[in-house]
Structure 1
Amino acid sequence: MTDQPNQTPPPLPDRPASAAAQEAAAAQPETTPGIAGVDDTGVPRLMGELDDIGRGFMSALFDITFTRFITRRLASVFFLVGLVAIGIAFVFVFVGGLISGIGSLGWNLGGGIALILSTIIVVPVLAFFAVVVLRFVIESGVALIAIAENTERTAQNTQHAPAPRR
């Protein structure tokens, strides 16, 4: 891609984004059905009857054009399932390590003590890091979807300037 010095930059908006967001928030009453405000990403939050939200979810789930995303709606479910899985794994590994350490105390005192101490120290640290990684992965997916939604909304609201002459 070569830089052409005679190209004009795209037009700038007539007001800052913060002012536009404040105007949009002031223009949108809080009683609008289905929308309970806008979070810091600018994406409306779903609120309303569970049946309405569920119907939107089911139609988005089977949308073969992939124009609607379900990731934001399922993020909390994935996080909860991941936390339960990490918790179950933590209990099994922690109890298993303690049982193995206690069992080996009879024939290898030093190894048994080392296994018990390492289980008490290492397993909770690894479980904590697993929760952090899970949260990071889910937040990354949600952020990517938020970027896609915001980009689509920006593209819809942008006035198309005529292409520069070459």
Structure 2
Amino acid sequence: MSDATPPVPPLPEQPAAEAARTTGAPDAASAPVYDPATDPDNTGVPTSLHDDAAAVGRGFFSALFDLSFRTFITRRLASVFYLVGLIAIAIGFVVYLVNGIVGGASLLSFSLGGGITAIIATLIIVPLIAFISIIALRFIIEAVVALIAIAENTERTAQHTRR
């Protein structure tokens, strides 16, 4: 075993703040200011930084039929998908709850214990599955929206690094 200490890297010639000032860092006044209060989709991704001037005038249907997939519509439709999913889960909840209670009530005439067990199981399991389904729906939609936001940010970064 040796007591050798790892080599220490040399110190830079000047502090980072001074190096940033002397290399001509972009002016803070030239960069667009992001205001979270004006963020239309509340994702934290500044919309003022979009450089694709052609995409500004595009409507929803032109973006929908964009065969090159340069415009993402998923973030615009996320709330619609979530609402439709919630409605589907609510309809399923009502159908399974009513069917479970009616089925359990019909079992009461044949087997008192079986009917009561079916009703209690329905009252516990159906709301639990509906709740888990709502959580899963939210996770899936948030994951897709986050993936699209990553793709948009990566594209924007690639556009800014091209020279």
TM-score normalised by structure 1 residue count: 0.68
Deviation of 1:158 after TM superposition, in Å, equals 1.9
Higher strand share: 1
Pairwise CA distance, 1:150: 0.3
Give the conservation status (yes or no) of the 8 Å contact 1:104–1:111. yes
**Identical-residue share of aligned pairs (%):** 53
Q: Which runs of 5+ in 1 are unaligned?
A: 1-13, 46-52, 161-166
**Native 8 Å contact 1:69 1:145 kept in 2:** yes
Distance 1:127 1:29, change over 3 A: closer
| Relative contact order higher in (CA < 8 Å, ≥ 6 apart) | 1
List per-residue Cα deviations over 1:63-110 (Å, max 9, x = no partner): 111100010011000000000000000000001100010110111111
CA contact (8 A) 1:60 1:68 kept: yes
Q: Which has the greater radius of gyration?
A: 2
TM, length-normalised to structure 2: 0.69
Equivalent pairs, count: 129
Aligned to 1:130: 133
**Which stretches in structure 2 are left out of the alignment for 5+ residues?**
1-19, 49-55
1:72 alignment counterpart: 75
- Kindly report structure 1 stretches of 4+ aligned residues shifted beyond 6 Å: none
Q: CA RMSD in A?
A: 3.0
**Aligned partners of 1:110 and 1:29: how far apart in 2?**
64
Tell whether the 8 Å contact from 1:94 to 1:120 is kept in structure 2 after alignment.
Answer: yes
- Of 85, 90, 93, the residue aligned with 1:90 is 93
Residue 103 of structure 2 aligns with an amino acid whose one-letter code is: S
